[in-house]
Amino acid sequence: MDELLTAAHNRPDWRRISMPSSLIYLNGRPVKGIMMMVMRAVMIVMLLLLLMMTTMMMVMTIMMMVLIMYVD
């Protein structure tokens, strides 16, 4: 029995299977690449939300200044 295990282990095509995550594919695309695309999309959405919030704050500030000017 030990001889069979040793013979199988010493075969040249007997290798440990290991793959980096960048080589795992999903629908023809590397999973790592898909995750990077999702992260970029999330970052773009967050930046757009931040820009919208900043713009709204500026508009509200201007409206408050105009209201204060007309009240006096």
Domain locations in the chain as residue ranges = 22-71
Q: What is the pLDDT of residue 70?
A: 87
Q: Is the pTM of this model over 0.85?
A: no
Average pLDDT per block of 10 residues along the chain, 72 residues long? 54 54 59 85 96 96 92 74
Q: What is the pLDDT of residue 32?
A: 78
Q: What is the 3 state secondary structure string of the chain?
A: CHHHHHHHHCCCCCCCCCCCHHHCEECCEEHHHHHHHHHHHHHHHHHHHHHHHHHHHHHHHHHHHHHHHHHC
Q: What is the pLDDT of residue 31?
A: 72
